[in-house]
Amino acid sequence: MARSRTSKAWLQEHVNDHYVHQAQKDGYRSRAAYKLMEIDDKDKLLKPGLWVADLGAAPGSWSQVAKRRVGDAGRVFALDILEMTPIHGVEFVQGDFREESVLAQFTQLLNGRQMDLVICDMAPNISGMAVIDQGRSYHLCELALEFCTDHLKPGGHFLVKTFQGSGYNEYLQQMRAMFASVLSRKPAASRDRSSEIYLLGKGKKP
């Protein structure tokens, strides 16, 4: 079957993408690594010794960045519905974040300790229907925020991928209720045509 013009264009863009080449050169699993690195360079989220939860981690580039930056004294816990090739020093649970049993298995790993930082680059399977995709995306974002309610320590930070459009303002208000400040970030590695925007909640309120 012939590729559609859209997928051909995407493939061409991917092959010529600076960040794709850079990721291959630097040993990162995807170009998304540079989004987290740029945000972290600006906002200083990852520090040696921190405990970090990475929600929606596969293929693992954010976990790679987090582990390198928190070092041996820090811990990184990753979760995704997809399989993820092991990363040295990263503890991983495979399963659907929306299921209680999976969440229970993941929280067991944390051993009662609250996280210093929660990062979330989750996206739903795309149906191509904007209203449905937006709804699914914000459902995942809300679950990640609920996770922060229970497992992020007071003063901790939360970085989450969102999409501008329906549901964005409501979600922004929910984050403002939980964090001392909420900032938006659009790293250079985000493709211009993408509506994705990262929200950073700093300083979880007690």
Q: What is the pLDDT of residues 71-106, one digit of tens each?
A: 999 999 999 999 999 999 999 999 999 999 999 999
In a domain, 3, yes or no: no
Rg of the chain over Cα atoms, rounded to whole angstroms, equals: 17
Query: What 3-state DSSP class applies to 50?
Result: coil
Name the more confident of 33 and 4: 33
* Range list of H helices, 55-98: 61-70
In a domain, 19, yes or no: no
Assess contact for 126 and 140: CB atoms under 8 A: no
pLDDT tens readout for residues 184-195: 999 998 877 778
Q: In this structure, are strands 196-204 and 152-163 parallel, antiparallel, or unpaired? A: antiparallel
- What percent of the chain clears pLDDT 70, i.e. is strictly above it? 87
- Give the C-alpha separation, 81 to 202, whole Å: 27
Q: First-to-last CA distance in the chain?
A: 56
- Domain containing 48 equals 32-204
- Give the C-alpha separation, 75 to 109, whole Å: 11
Average pLDDT value for residue range 133-140: 81
Name the more confident of 167 and 116: 116
In a domain, 145, yes or no: yes
Assess contact for 204 and 157: CB atoms under 8 A: yes
In a domain, 13, yes or no: no
In a domain, 66, yes or no: yes
Q: Where is 115: in which H helix or E strand?
A: strand 115-120
In a domain, 158, yes or no: yes
- What percent of the chain clears pLDDT 90, i.e. is strictly above it? 72
Which CATH number is 101's domain given? 3.40.50.150
> For position 18, what pLDDT does the model report?
86
* The total number of residues written for the chain in this structure: 206
Positions at the binding site for S-adenosyl-L-methionine: 60, 62, 80, 96, 121
Catalytic annotation, residues: 161
pLDDT tens readout for residues 22-68: 999 998 999 999 999 999 999 999 999 999 999 999 999 999 999 99
User: Where are the strands (E) in 143-195, listed by range?
Assistant: 152-163, 179-185
> For position 15, what pLDDT does the model report?
55
Q: Where is 90: in which H helix or E strand?
A: strand 90-94
Q: How high does pLDDT run on average in the chain?
A: 90
Tally the domains of the chain: 1
Assess contact for 90 and 61: CB atoms under 8 A: no
In a domain, 130, yes or no: yes
In a domain, 17, yes or no: no
- Give the C-alpha separation, 84 to 94, whole Å: 8
